[in-house]
Structure 1
Amino acid sequence: MTKRAIDDIGLPYVVVDLAADEQAVETVQQLGYTSAPVVTVSAASLSGFRPDKISAVTSARGTELRAATDELGGASYE
């Protein structure tokens, strides 16, 4: 749902597979999150499906989002 919401806004993003990237898992943990999805924009981050926060990034158009996925393919992390 997170990826779909970001797609609907039309913002570019990078998806990182947490199941295949140990460094990404460490980064997510350092951000204080224990589950995916995690989305980062500049210095800000959010976890879970947060349409209110996703909508807030529309003002950051041109900023590339970094997202990671768990093995189920949900959008997540930096």
Structure 2
Amino acid sequence: MSVTVYSAGPACPQCTATFRHLEARGIEFAEVDIRDGDSAREYVTEELGYTQAPVVVVDDEPENHWYGFRPDLIDRLIIGAAS
């Protein structure tokens, strides 16, 4: 399973909470700061349709993503990986 978190940087409290919850659950993830380039920002806003960070994308699947701090969905990743 690959998890990518598109973040708005260290000043984003929901991003920080998402990172901490993923780390606490032992889920490895890659962080992409959407402030660093147009391609990541365009992907999040135009392709996925989000205007808020963080955006979490699982396994690069277009239907498996969400925005905001969602501990319930992070916890489901653990359940899904165990089955």
TM-score above 0.5, yes or no? yes
In the TM superposition, what is the alpha-carbon distance from 1:32 to its structure 2 partner?
A: 1.1
Give the TM-score normalised by structure 1: 0.72
In the TM superposition, what is the alpha-carbon distance from 1:60 to its structure 2 partner?
A: 3.0
Greater share of residues in helix: 2
C-alpha root-mean-square deviation of aligned residues, in Å? Answer: 1.2
- Which 4+ residue blocks in structure 1 deviate beyond 2 angstroms? none
What percent of counterpart residues are identical? 39
Rg comparison, structure with higher value:
2
Q: Structure 2, unaligned stretches of length 5 or more?
A: 1-16
Aligned residue in 1 for 2:81: 60
Distance 1:22 1:6 in 2: 26
Distance 1:26 1:49 in 2: 21
Aligned residues: 61
- Which is bigger in relative contact order (C-alpha 8 A, separation at least 6)? 1
Aligned residue in 1 for 2:18: 2
| 1:35 match: secondary structure | coil
Alignment equivalent of 1:26, drawn from 42, 56, 63:
42
